[in-house]
Amino acid sequence: MIIQGGKTIRDLARYRWSMLVIVSLLMSANYYFYDALSPLKSILQEHLHFSSRDFGIVAGVYSFPNTFLLMAILGGIILDKLGIRPTGFLFAVFMVIGALLTAYGASDIYRAGGAGYHMMSSFWPSYSPELKMMSLGMLLFGLGAETSIVVTTKILVKWFRGYEIALAFALNLGIARLGTALAFNLSPRLILPHQWNFAIWFAVMLLLIGFLTFMIYLMFDIKIDRQVKSTGSLLNPDEEFHIADLKKLFTNRSFLFIAFMCVTFYAAVFPFLKYAPDFFYHKFGISRIAAGDVASLLPYGTVIFTPIFGWFVDKKGKTASLMIWGSLLLIFVHLAFSFTSINPYVLMIVLGIAFSLVPAAMWPAVSRLVPDHFLGTAYGTMFSLQNLGLFAIPILAGRLLDVTNPGITPDMIEHGAKLNYTPTMLLFAGLSVLGFLFALLLKWDDKTSGYGLQLPSNPGAEKT
């Protein structure tokens, strides 16, 4: 049914915001599962005898298919060619299967010789069967998760272009990072005396719930497409995606600057967050539960600040400037963690502000740089580049920890030995500097490109 005046349900605010909440629930569950292992690093070392390198492998392999197999780019191309529904469903299924395998790899049933254990024991004997099964699970989870996020970004553009698009992206990120915050709060509290891996299975359950909510969205997607078809397609026939559009994408300097900033900025935050609870334990001597609570301040901060900055971008603009200031704050936080003893609660709040400034400006800005018909490919390219950092940096950080702390074993840590995290924190600080440089280049290029990144996204949104 067509709404009066030839409009569609996307023109009604209650439908737009309802769709935002529904698709954000899957992203929140996605983020929860991704970060659920972070507070469990010492538990994995205790029960599965993981080294810091092993933990880095499980964290980093998530990004392998999107980095080396270019699955996020291919997923973006599939999205542009096939549409939201088949692409979203397919990769959400990959995400759920991967989560199940990850939890299974840490389960008592698997470790007692369950299905796949002997096969995983038959090769690469220097790596445990638990590590290999959990890595396989995280690989499949990452294959689905990143393309699912690409699908979500295109959904937001589909429903909010011409309306409150920056605020929509910001609220989506805020809801998603609520999942990260809850992971740091709940995971250490869900370690049961005789079932420590319950925390991982709980994350799987949340992901299944998110998957079911996404199925609800797909029904509304069918409805909006029927209405759009009745009122006239959003795309002209000559505006369908073609492989030749890739050349336009990779010769767009502004897009390349924002993409490279994406990889360096996120590589300085997400891998740090993977190690943050362990870092707080070793540097500040706080308990595992308290360390998870401190780490959760970053995502909780983004829940508060990202919508504020998203509203600012809609009304005032200054996209490139916000990215510059966010990068500077990130540099300050990592250097302060490296060389000072400033209260970690304070620094994590500042980091939460930095991690709100940049994404609130970055993601909606892409819709100004790239036409709709290959927007999915553009976002997929950014996520593939981002995953290059998310794959390499956790492994490098874990290796750096092992090398700079020779002779310290998991048993010694269990009895009070402390790791020196300073070289690892300097790695994150160096990535922050690179992000700052790319933000400067983006602002410089915007002066001649004509994209208007410093202008408001939506100075006068229609009230519906």
Interval 128-148 mean pLDDT: 90
Residue listed under structure tokens 């300050």: 332
| Angle formed at CA 92 by CA 33 and CA 44, multiple of 5 degrees | 25
Interval 341-347 mean pLDDT: 90
Residue 116 has pLDDT above 50, yes or no: yes
pLDDT at 410: 67
All structural domains of the chain with their residue ranges: 9-449
Half-sphere exposure of 324 (CA within 13 A, CB side): 12
Which of the residue ranges 96-105, 120-129, 215-224 would you say has the lowest mean pLDDT? 120-129
Tell which wins on pLDDT, 21 or 80: 21
Task: Tell me which H or E stretch contains 247.
Answer: helix 245-250
CATH topology of domain 9-449: Growth Hormone; Chain: A; (1.20.1250)
Residue 67 has pLDDT above 60, yes or no: yes
| Residue 373 near residue 241, CB atoms below 8 Å | yes
- How confident is residue 22, by pLDDT bands cut at 50, 70 and 90? very high
Residue listed under structure tokens 């909440």: 21
| Rounded Cα–Cα distance for residues 347 and 75 (Å) | 36
pLDDT at 93: 95
- How confident is residue 122, by pLDDT bands cut at 50, 70 and 90? confident
414-444: per-residue pLDDT in tens?
667 778 888 999 999 999 999 999 999 988 9
| Rounded Cα–Cα distance for residues 250 and 450 (Å) | 17
| Residue 187 near residue 276, CB atoms below 8 Å | no
Tell which wins on pLDDT, 238 or 108: 108
Q: Tell me the whole-structure pTM to 2 decimals.
A: 0.73
DSSP 80-130: HHH-HHHHHHHHHHHHHHHHHHHHHHTSHHHHTT-TTHHHHHTS-TTS-HH
